[in-house]
Amino acid sequence: MKSEILGTVMPMVEIELDRGELIYAQTGAMQWMTENIDMQTNMRGGVFAAIKRGVSGENMFLAHFSAEKNGARVAFGHSFPGKIIEIDVSQKTMICQKRAFLCATEGVDYDIEFQNKLSTGFFGGEGFIMQRLSGKGTAWVEMDGEYVVKELAPGERIRMETGALGMYEAGMDLSINRVKGFKNMFLGGEGLFLTTIEGPGKVWIQTMPAQNMASEIANFIPSRNDNK
């Protein structure tokens, strides 16, 4: 199997498969494929796993693409301006933002991650539900805007805007803390809460969360009052 990430602002990943190899992806993510690719859509992981994805707001079905001949190709595109990252989940289980998963090889387990802390669920930007990628193999995930990677030492913490957290290694401690100071809370422009993550481990921080871009665009959409 070979892969190449193409493009800049709206990238896609192009994957070349040998006969019998399989890739699965979010429905609607496929951009193009050669005629020697067989596509099947089903409830990966069984009915229970599909129901859990549906209840959490994810698509119950996933699309599977298998090669009928060597050299078959399929490409998957980014759903939002940003970057595509290739990760080896055999090395470390990853926890991602809710919309991050794009596609993966057959040995990768794609599941829902529920946040245990109430404060994290209510104020953490992504709510109670994130995505867990584990098992053996390669996965491709989406980051909003650009991204930076920080590797934290044991006990080292960083704080960030809620929603800026794109992905982190499983086992790191995630919490939500209220911004200190009345003026900081209401005049600082960072909101009432910040996400705190503690090492050891790597964390991927994205520069333009989808909800932030939506908010910026909304400022330019004329309201009904503007037309009067």
Q: What is the pLDDT of residue 10?
A: 92
Residue at token pair 């009345």 = 182
Domains, the chain, ordered by start: 2-220 (3.60.160.10)
For 38, the token pair is 């067989």
Q: Residue 185 has what pLDDT?
A: 45
Scored b (16 or more CB within 10 A) or e, 126-157 reads: bebbbbbbbbebbbbbbbbbebeeeebeeeee
Residue closest to 31 by CA, chosen among 20, 15, 17: 15
The mean of the pLDDT values for the chain is 84
Q: How far apart are CA 141 and CA 134, in angstroms?
A: 13
Q: Please list the ranges in the chain whose pLDDT falls under 70.
A: 56-57, 115-128, 178-192, 210-220, 223-228
Q: Please give the pLDDT value at position 121.
A: 42
pLDDT of residue 78: 82
What would the pLDDT profile of 2-31 be if each residue is shown by its tens digit? 999 999 889 999 999 999 999 999 999 999
Q: How many residues does the chain have?
A: 228
- Position 217 scores a pLDDT of 67
What does the pLDDT read at residue 120? Answer: 45
Task: Please list, in sequence order, all residues whose beta carbon lies within 8 angstroms of the beta carbon of residue 84, skipping any fewer than 6 positions away.
Answer: 5, 11, 12, 13, 78, 102, 140, 141, 142, 143
Q: What pLDDT is recorded for position 56?
A: 64
Give the pLDDT confidence score for residue 35 in this predicted structure.
Answer: 96
